Amino acid sequence: MIPYIREIEFEYGRCDQVSPLIRRVIARNPGPFTYTGTGVYIVGSGEVAVIDPGPEIAEHLDALLAALKGERVTHILVTHHHLDHSPLARPLADLTGATIYGRPAPSDPGEASRGPEGAGLEEGADGRFRPDVELVDGQVLSGPGWTLDAITTPGHTSNHVCFGLKEENALFCGDHIMGWSTTVITPPDGDMGDYFASLDKVKARGFDTLWPTHGAPIREVTPFVDAYIAHRRAREAQILDALAAGHGQIKAMVPVLYAAVDPRLHPAAAMSVLAHIQQLVREGRVVCDGAADLDAGYRLP
């Protein structure tokens, strides 16, 4: 069982010092995919980096500018291109002269990822997101007293990047790992095989703290990531059991597999099941009758 961390002390718009090098401002955009809202991290003092500036909300921009008053923003870092993470990057850069770092939105993320509605699957994609500097794995960014390295972590999206803070052995993990919930994997841009590999990659680094964009920090990192992986493997086993019982379509599996989950999240859950099944098909553990999509029929070999 995942040891979720759902308690978080905050006020919208307030800038909280959450560690010696990190401050946080939370946007007022709560929801089923954002929890209490987008947590924007400010790293350093004087010359700072801003991570995941969040949605274009005037109140939120004002709060960020107040938190940054008297300082120089040198870096704006974006973990991925969803509407709750990246849209404010360009307006903030225009106001501060900062450089935007990240990986560009995919040219064709698929129908499921487009628009704020996105069939109710996600907060929606910022398909126009293009950083000033396209990051590569291991790229180092630094300022006075702080050092960040880019860790490419595809899975939730193909362009997802986490950022390691050397001085505190901490990771800004975006939506790759969240303390309050599991992460949605939405094909075709999301990929379950990539996601498992990225979880292993983060675990191998041995971070002391994870700072998700939504929710509270994760302090017991290795047990939490192990539980995240075990949860995904258990879901995989449940899907195989459902197929063995003759449930050959995703729409028949979701109400059973996700009976305890908010029904508003069932469309997203269906996409995660699809992501699992697509990986199982690639591994030869499941057979697909036709294209591996939400409407296909599946069976064991």
The answer to whether 262 and 268 are in contact (CB under 8 A) is no
Q: What three-state secondary structure class fits 197?
A: helix
Catalytic-labelled residue, pool 52, 84, 191, 194:
84
Q: For residue 50, what are its two tokens?
A: 């801003």
Is-catalytic flag, 295? no
How far, in Å, CA of 112 to CA of 118, rounded? 5
Active-site residues, by number, are 84
